[in-house]
Structure 1
Amino acid sequence: MISLKKNIVLLCLMLSSAYLGSTARPTEQIAEMRPQVSLAELIPTTFEGWKAEPSGGGQVVNPQQEKMLNEVYSETLSRSYVNAEGYRIMLSLAYGRNQNDTLQLHRPESCYPAQGFVLQSKRSTELTIAGQQIAAVQLETNLSQRYEPVTYWTVIGDRITTFGFSKKITEMEYAWHGQIPDGMLVRVSSIDRDSSRAFEAQKQFSEQLIQAVKPEHRNRLIGGNLTTTQL
């Protein structure tokens, strides 16, 4: 029954896509509705006991090729933060102004193995950030002796969504309203053999980070209604 329902929805999506392609193309960009601010300005360098290390001081690894980053994303930001206990969290943001069929966010569970990492596990989780439930994904990866647990989530337009079926439906809903959504991938990770400790630290870091971001910009990172968007 679930498979049948999914197939019906997929058929509707295909018909909708064909209709949009032949009669109308979305023209209103969600990115233009937002206050214009760079990621470097958006994300504070110090908050709640965390402090960004000088450039090159951390060990942030971006598992995506620079050429692809430049082609797919409008802007990226990578920083390494450390707290008073010396625990290090690596933050990576990837933002794309136009989420269409050719310019798409790339999921870390595909990009990490492409760069030599072993994907040991993957699971869905929920984070409570600024009073919102965030659907996130947790990965356990390693490259030789580098064990790197990862937590990430994605925002399409003003909505938290997972990759695959859910993401496609969200994009189609925007398209039906003549809108082109932007996309943000938020990834936090740490080099730690103790995954449970790492995921708890990443959860705490994420909550404190979002609370430190100005309220008018938080929807870029955790979703939230844009008054001009009616879905």
Structure 2
Amino acid sequence: MLDFKKNKYALIIATALFLSAFLAYALTPRNAMADSKPKINLEKSIPTAFADWKLDERVTPVAATPELQDKLDNLYSQIVSRTYINDKGEQIMLSIAYGRDQGGDGSQVHRPEYCYPAQGFELKNTRDEQLKYKNDYIPVRRLLAVNGSRTEPISYWVTVGETALRSGFDRKLAQISYGLKGTIPDGLLFRVSNISTDIEASYQLQEKFTNDLLNNVDKQTRIRLAGNLNGE
């Protein structure tokens, strides 16, 4: 009887170890999605002038500390940081960080929740909303970064493969889904912000800017920036 129990427990342990090894193998991606897509060049693909927006070289987004910049350079294939101004003198800061490997947690380094506190900002009023684009919606996370007299409303999302997501649980599910297919997804973090104490007006301006930008890039770039919208 004792031998039977020992054999039973040994079988359970062996089965658990086998399943663990199988899952580890199955969830290990092998094929890079970026290799099957046309190469992207964000500096060229993102126009410097569109709609009533043009590049404003007088203002630059918050510069990363040397330590943070080193991490960004190691994690991302391309980073674009620009400031645009429209005919009314309204400014929007745009930051896009693209990485070939979005199968892990590396992109959290560029999330506002990580990089803004590293620059001395306090984050407030985090909320999850949707940004309307034509007949579709992009899931966004909105928050407020404050440092002294500087108040900066922020909207951002991440893409994993060709799906736009907020950071967190949805992103982790997408990573697991691609992992089960043996695929290493690429993706990016898309962030817009401006300096203003009028929070709601800022989010409306950011939505207008984002719509203007997406309307003035080619289809492949639009999918890279915001995922598949309306079956694109």
Q: Is this a same-fold pair by TM over 0.5?
A: yes
For the aligned residue pairs, the C-alpha RMSD in angstroms reads 2.2
Structure 1 residues 33-55: Cα deviation after superposition (integer angstroms, max 9, x where no partner) = 2221211111011111000123x
Q: Which deviates more from structure 2 when the two are superposed, residues 180-189 or residues 98-107?
A: 98-107
Specify the alignment match of 1:186 in structure 2. Answer: 190
Structure 1 residues 15-70: Cα deviation after superposition (integer angstroms, max 9, x where no partner) = 9986342356322211122221211111011111000123xx21311456211111
1:166 corresponds to which of 160, 170, 173: 170
Specify the alignment match of 1:117 in structure 2. Answer: 121
Does the 8 A contact of 2:61 with 2:83 survive in 1? yes
Q: Secondary structure at the match of 1:36?
A: coil
Q: Secondary structure at the match of 1:200?
A: helix
Specify the alignment match of 2:141 in structure 1. Answer: 137
Does the 8 A contact of 1:105 with 1:183 survive in 2? no
Structure 1 residues 81-119: Cα deviation after superposition (integer angstroms, max 9, x where no partner) = 000111110000001101233633432123212221011
Specify the alignment match of 1:32 in structure 2. Answer: 35
Does the 8 A contact of 2:129 with 2:142 survive in 1? yes
Q: For the pair shown, which has the larger CA radius of gyration, 1 or 2?
A: 2
Q: Secondary structure at the match of 2:106?
A: coil
Q: Secondary structure at the match of 1:85?
A: coil
Say if 1:187 and 1:128 are closer, same or farther in 2 by CA, change over 3 A: same
Structure having the higher helix fraction is 2
Say if 1:18 and 1:116 are closer, same or farther in 2 by CA, change over 3 A: farther
Specify the alignment match of 2:80 in structure 1. Answer: 77
If the length of structure 1 is used for normalisation, what is the TM-score? 0.84
Say if 1:62 and 1:188 are closer, same or farther in 2 by CA, change over 3 A: farther
* Amino acid aligned to 1:52: L
Q: CA deviation at 1:218?
A: 1.0
CA distance in 2, matches of 1:221, 1:108: 17
Structure 1 residues 131-187: Cα deviation after superposition (integer angstroms, max 9, x where no partner) = 321000111111111110001111100111222221111001001111100121000
Gaps of at least 5 residues in structure 2 are: 1-17
Does the 8 A contact of 2:76 with 2:100 survive in 1? yes
Moved over 2 A (4+): 15-25, 100-107
Once the two structures are aligned, what percentage of the paired residues are identical?
A: 36
* Amino acid aligned to 2:48: T
Aligned length: 210
